[in-house]
Amino acid sequence: MSKAFPENFVWGSATASYQIEGAAKEYGRGMSIWDAFCDTPGKVESGHNGDVACDHYHRFEEDVKMMKELGLQAYRFSIAWSRIQPDGKGEVNQQGIDFYNRLIDCLLEHGIEPWVTLYHWDLPLALQIEHDGWLNKEIVGHFEKYSRICFENFGDRVKNWITLNEPWCAAVLGYGIGAHAPGRISQSEPYISAHNLILSHARAYRVYKNEFAHQNGTIGITNNCDFRYPLTDKPEDVAAAERSMEFFLAWFADPIWKGDYPEVMKERVGERLPKFTEAEKAEVFGSSDFFGLNHYTSMMASEPNENDTLVSDIAGNGGMIDDQQVFLSNDPSWNKTHMQWNIVPEGCRDLLKWIDARYDHPIIYITENGCACDEPDTDAALNDVMRKEFYESYLRESRNAIEAGVDLRGYFAWSLMDNFEWSFGYNRRFGMCRVDYETLERTPKLSARWLSDSIAQNGANI
């Protein structure tokens, strides 16, 4: 028997500024690290960039109208830091403030609740060039000032804030294996940048709670995590799966919900793992009103043997293989997305239960979930049965997690529309709506129509 999601469950979709806005060299916006990364030969597939993207800056009104037609109740988007402060630290660009005010007002006029992410990877380039970006602890103060500007200008209408999107990706892909901007490769810099990301999140949280409590909003952080199943029931494989989860999610979540880094990371990383002062621990601990989760896939984890070759990649160990010592593999029965990510809906359920148990039953929002599908032509794009089945199966398992006692309160599909997919350029399609990049026309796909119909029928009755 199908069951509906709880009353007041939040249904939405999500995007990120650099992936959709365009207008990269207009209206006072400064360059970001992704502008520079895209301009570096060989870094982005097909040499694509976000100069135009989906042209959301100029066409947000029709995008909001499309959201309304799809029945979305909430829209999660990010603010481009360099559109607010072109150099990340100096004067405010009023044109940037005006743009986001227009977007927020338009959303509210259409009955759509804005969920705003302060940072989704597009660091102002000046902060990277002049101050080493997230490697310099001074960035905590810069992020504090930027956050305060956003709260002051938008907080009267925005009641749902996310400080950082996927700091694991910013640290590991950006500073560990060089797959994302700023393209650095190091065994130590991921830990340094992660430490400063966590401190920056906490500082923004405290600013909001101490100075803007009268706005009556909530604020949290969004972490990403793939679930890890042990390859066998051998104790060493069970331990490897848990260790992989701790190096992935607990790295960022434990300081907030438990007060410090996981012990296994302290033991294995040693002096390369920065230490929190007692004052920093106090500022970080408890600095999230909810647990934001981006989840896409699952893998098998095992203790490596002498024949296993450990690989650093985007979906794997992420450049810290010597520290984790976990061998990752796939169940051959699992289907895959166009990103070659495993489709494992039960992994979503089990991850939600893992979070619920480890962090003492927090409020959870799935702030991203979706899949890339191979769409060689318009007909394939619009008739995206695979994506429909993906959403249906992951939503079913999300609801099963709720039935098991998990306090899941919302779901945001990634993404609203096809967009610039980072190092893959425009060659991977995650959107519920198709974008024709020659005309920039938008067309809802089967998945969007199915999801909107499901929401309308008593809250995604699956």
- 172-207 per-position pLDDT tens digit: 999 999 999 999 999 999 999 999 999 999 999 999
Statement: the pTM of the whole predicted model exceeds 0.85: yes
Q: What pLDDT is recorded for position 1? A: 42
Mean pLDDT, residues 144-151:
99
A 10 A CB-CB count for 128 gives 24
- In this predicted model, which residue has the larger pLDDT, 310 or 226? 226
Catalytic residues: 166, 368
Instruction: Retrieve residue 208's tokens.
Output: 């909001």
CB distance 298 to 352 below 8 Å: no
Instruction: Retrieve residue 397's tokens.
Output: 């398992």
Q: CB within 8 A of 143, min separation 6: which ones?
A: 118, 119, 200, 203, 204
Q: What pLDDT is recorded for position 4? A: 86
**DSSP state letter for 423:** G
List Cα–Cα distances, 113 to 10, 20, 67, 221, in angstroms. 9, 19, 11, 18
> In which residue are the tokens 């919900």 written?
257
Cα gap 339→315, rounded to integer Å: 10
CB distance 49 to 149 below 8 Å: no
Tens digit of pLDDT for each residue in 48-69?
A: 999 999 999 999 999 999 999 9
Q: What pLDDT is recorded for position 309? A: 73
Q: What pLDDT is recorded for position 322? A: 83
CB distance 429 to 418 below 8 Å: yes
**Alpha-carbon Rg of the chain, whole angstroms?**
21
Q: CB within 8 A of 212, min separation 6: which ones?
A: 151, 152, 155
Q: Where are the domains of the chain?
A: 10-298+333-456
Instruction: Retrieve residue 320's tokens.
Output: 């810290």
CB distance 30 to 88 below 8 Å: yes
Q: What pLDDT is recorded for position 306? A: 78
> In which residue are the tokens 């905590």 written?
140
Could you tell me which of 177, 160, 138, 142 has the C-alpha nearest to residue 319?
Answer: 177
Tens digit of pLDDT for each residue in 90-141?
A: 999 999 999 999 999 999 999 999 999 999 999 999 999 999 999 999 999 9
Question: Three-class SS of residue 327?
Answer: strand
Q: What pLDDT is recorded for position 320? A: 72
Ramachandran sector of residue 363 (left: φ over 0; alpha: ψ -120 to 50; beta: rest): beta
> In which residue are the tokens 């829209």 written?
75
Cα gap 25→86, rounded to integer Å: 11
pLDDT > 70? residue 390: yes
Q: Is the peptide bond before 255 cis (omega within 30 degrees of 0)?
A: no
Question: pLDDT exceeding 90 applies to what percent of the chain?
Answer: 93
Q: What pLDDT is recorded for position 460? A: 64
A 10 A CB-CB count for 185 gives 13
pLDDT > 90? residue 307: no
**Angle made by CA atoms 422, 370, 353, in degrees to the nearest 5:** 120
The domain defined by 10-298+333-456 folds into TIM Barrel (3.20.20)
Could you tell me which of 381, 403, 400 has the C-alpha nearest to residue 392?
Answer: 400
Instruction: Retrieve residue 406's tokens.
Output: 């998990």
CB distance 343 to 390 below 8 Å: yes
Question: How many residues are given for the chain?
Answer: 462
Cα gap 234→232, rounded to integer Å: 5
Q: Which amino acid is at 130?
A: E
Q: Which of 200-214, 248-262, 297-311, 424-438 has the lowest mean pLDDT?
A: 297-311
**DSSP state letter for 176:** T
Q: Which residues of 451-462 are buried (b: 16+ CB within 10 A; e: fewer)?
A: bbebbeeebbeb
The two beta strands, 160-165 and 218-224, are parallel
Mean pLDDT, residues 303-328:
77
> What is the average pLDDT value for the chain, to the nearest integer?
96
Question: Three-class SS of residue 326?
Answer: coil
> In which residue are the tokens 């029931």 written?
233
